[in-house]
Amino acid sequence: MANVVENVELLPAVCDEYGGIIVEMKEPMNPTVFHSMLISSMEQWKLQGKKGVWMKLPIGLVNLVEMAVKEGFWYHHAEPEYLMLVYWIPKTYNTLPINATHRVRIGAVVMNDKREILVVQEKIGRFHGTGIWKIPTGALDEGEDIFRAAMREVKEETGVDTEFMEILGFRQLHKSFFQKSDMLFLCMLRPLSHDIQKQDSEIDAARWIPFDEYAAQPVSQKHDLFRHMNDVCLATLEKRYTGFTPLAIKSYFGDPLSYLYLNKHGLKSQNGIAHI
Amino acid sequence: MANVVENVELLPAVCDEYGGIIVEMKEPMNPTVFHSMLISSMEQWKLQGKKGVWMKLPIGLVNLVEMAVKEGFWYHHAEPEYLMLVYWIPKTYNTLPINATHRVRIGAVVMNDKREILVVQEKIGRFHGTGIWKIPTGALDEGEDIFRAAMREVKEETGVDTEFMEILGFRQLHKSFFQKSDMLFLCMLRPLSHDIQKQDSEIDAARWIPFDEYAAQPVSQKHDLFRHMNDVCLATLEKRYTGFTPLAIKSYFGDPLSYLYLNKHGLKSQNGIAHI
């Protein structure tokens, strides 16, 4: 009978909560030995009615990748130190979750009470050498909250300490980076210090300039994105605009602490007290 | 002199706009031949003062991965059909952009004028078998806009046609999926049809239920996320809440059309006419 599984060693694996299997290879292994163990393991998992198989191969075990692909595995995602391969056993539609699709960045609007905005000129990128003053921008680190990233980037690029106020809006752009999308959150921050200490490695110049001078730059008039952002900044200055503010929410189902971004103003009840 | 480069064949490569090199391997190649061509190419790129080297290997060329790693390349990202490896030539800090860090999902609040909300029970996931009614949710496809994903998910899961109204808020959660973060956008939609045709593969049941019945479920009271979301839905029903709405922005710098999500209400001028 084909159903008889020989008494061979199987790959180290644990079950996941979706009827799948997670193989975590840590120790070096001869590719031929790995190949035969993989074949035996696959037979076993099929008999057990398993669905998805996840195989995490550290970069040190790169010599095993070819064998896994030979057995029908394909790439799910990769990080510098590992490659995650997957396989779907049933004949049905594959319900494996998709890989991360977005990179998240912040743009930081820091305005003082003299109606000046904190701006920089960068050493690299699209605007290098154009003389255009732009707001500090940057990508979120892995696992970083949006509001923390905004404060960190301003501090790194200009040395100015800030308090996070709100998210004014955001832009979703596709195919920004290979097939990946970009999400840029425009954040409003209040300065807590004034003196500028620019970052030498990435920043050519940093200054406080009058908001009207910033908004009057030709680039701001020419491009929809900049023009709308300036309208939003102005509306915020004139206190007729409200964005989203972060609200810490307690862990549930074992998830870590996270933040919900809402228009708190809209949650105020008739008597003006926020419910939250 | 070590500077003399032999007249050997180099790997197919083009320059990028950041002083780097992009190698796109398409044709099968013997790994040993690939290895010697890679070594010669690297010497050449070093002499040329190149910085980052990107190497895209289709899954069909998995037999070349080990040689690239042997020469110091590491993984940048992977998609089902290819693996992207990188190398940084200078002795300085590596400024290669990071990989995508977020998966983006939507939760769809669809309410009719009888104050009923469209809810489902799923065949898989956390809530399966609990009897809890939840709003339709789902992940964005690669390159999909948030507002389109919300309409698509509602249509797929329940058969109901909708018009997108606004984003009420969003939640950023870390380590949701391996080391990746999750961004869940809560969207408000207006139904354009009433009859339900549920999706058999993923959905156990779909119904219109009174909003108060939905909000009174114990799960909604117990967890911060659900409780705040219900507050926001109620505030929206009572027309005291405004979220973000999408605004198409024209391409610039060759970028594709994209959407900016803003609180349009806040952009209205004194006479009530929106600037945008």
B195 to A38, B109, B113, B123, B187: CA distances (angstroms):
49, 16, 15, 21, 21
Q: Which of B209, B219, B208 is nearest to B158 (CA)?
A: B208
pLDDT per residue as tens digits for the range A55-67? 999 999 999 999 9
> Are the beta carbons of B263 and A243 separated by less than 8 Å?
yes
pLDDT, tens digit, 9 for 90 and up, residues B30-56:
999 999 999 999 999 999 999 999 999
- Chain-chain contact of B101 with A98 (C-beta, under 8 angstroms): no
User: What is d(CA B81, CA B60) in angstroms, rounded to the nearest whole number?
Assistant: 8
How do the domains of chain B map onto residue ranges?
13-88, 102-237, 244-276
Which range (A179-183, B4-8, B130-134) has the least confidence?
B4-8
B13-88 and B102-237 have identical folds? no
Q: Are B109 and B233 in contact (CB under 8 A)?
A: yes
Alpha-carbon span A150 to A165, nearest angstrom:
10
- DSSP class of residue B237 equals H
Closest to A78 (Cβ–Cβ): which among B75, B98, B223? B75
Q: Rounded to an integer, what is the distance from CA A145 to the centroid of its chain?
A: 9
**A125 or B131, which is more confident:** B131
Look at residues B198, B199, B168 and name the one whose alpha carbon lies nearest to residue B184.
B168
Cβ atoms of B166 and B188 within 8 Å: the answer is: yes
Name the average pLDDT for chain A: 90
Measured between beta carbons, the chain B residues lying within 8 angstroms of A268 are: 240
**Is the pLDDT confidence value at B5 over 70?**
no
pLDDT at B273: 45
Q: Which residues of A touch B252 (CB under 8 A)?
A: 222-225
Q: B182-240: per-residue pLDDT in tens?
A: 999 999 999 999 999 998 888 999 999 999 999 999 888 788 888 899 999 999 988 89
How would residue B2 be classed by pLDDT, with cut points 50, 70 and 90?
A: very low
Contacts of A66 in chain B (CB under 8 A): 62-63, 65-66
Q: Which of A101, A224, A241 sits opposite B103 (nearest CB)?
A: A101
Report the CATH fold assignment for A13-88.
Aminopeptidase (3.40.630)
**Given pLDDT bands bounded at 50, 70 and 90, which one contains residue A250?**
confident
Average pLDDT along chain B? 90
User: Distance between CA atoms of A78 and A56, rounded to whole angstroms?
Assistant: 9
Domain spanning A102-237, CATH class? alpha beta
Lowest model confidence (mean pLDDT) among A218-222, A225-229, B49-53, B117-121: A218-222
Indicate the range of B109-113, B173-177, B181-185 predicted with least confidence.
B173-177
Query: Which residues contact residue A167 at a Cβ distance below 8 angstroms, ignoring those fewer than 6 apart?
Result: A146, A185, A186, A187, A188, A243, A244, A245, A261
The pLDDT of A88-97, averaged and rounded, is 88
Residue of A18, A62, A99 with shortest CB distance to B79: A99
Q: Which residues contact A25 (CB under 8 A, 6 or more apart)?
A: A11, A12, A34, A55, A56, A57, A58, A61, A64
Considering only CB atoms, which chain B residues are within 8 Å of A256?
A: 173-175
Chain B positions in Cβ-Cβ contact with residue A252 (cut-off 8 Å)? 222-225
Of all helices (H) and strands (E), which one includes residue B103?
A: strand B102-110
Please report, rounded to a whole number, the percentage of residues in chain B having pLDDT higher than 90. Answer: 70
Nearest to A224 among B62, B224, B249 (CB): B249
pLDDT in tens, A12-28: 999 988 889 999 899 99
CB contact at 8 A, A57 and A83: yes
Q: Quote the Cα angle for B92-B95-B100, to 5°.
A: 150
pLDDT at site B254: 67
With an 8 Å Cβ cutoff, are B276 and A63 in contact?
no
Q: Please name which of B184, B185, B193, B118 lies closest in space to residue B157, comparing C-alpha atoms.
A: B118
Q: What pLDDT band is residue B265 in, cutting at 50, 70 and 90?
A: confident
Which H or E run includes B171?
strand B162-177
Burial code (b: 16+ CB inside 10 Å, e: under 16) for A137-173 equals bbbbeeebbbbebbbbbbbebbebebebbbbbbbbbb
Which positions in chain A touch B261 (Cβ < 8 Å)? 169-172
Query: How many Cβ pairs within 8 Å bridge chains A and B?
Result: 254
Position B111, amino acid = M
Q: Give the residue among A27, A64, A29 at the shortest CA–CA distance from B66.
A: A64
Contacts of A63 in chain B (CB under 8 A): 66
> How many angstroms separate the CA of residue A6 from the nearest CA in chain B?
30
How many Å lie between the alpha carbon of A63 and the closest alpha carbon of chain B? 6
- Beta carbons of A263 and B243 less than 8 Å apart: yes
Question: Mutating which of B93, B144, B261, B269 best tests the A interface, going by the most A Cβ atoms within 10 A?
Answer: B261
Report how far residue A38's alpha carbon sits from residue A29's, in angstroms, rounded to the nearest whole number: 12
Torsions phi, psi of A227, nearest 5?
Answer: -60, -45
For residue A95, the Cα-to-chain-centroid distance in whole angstroms is: 23
Q: Do A173 and B62 touch (CB under 8 A)?
A: no
**pLDDT tens digits, B56-80:** 999 999 999 999 999 999 999 999 9
Whole-number pLDDT of residue A97? 83
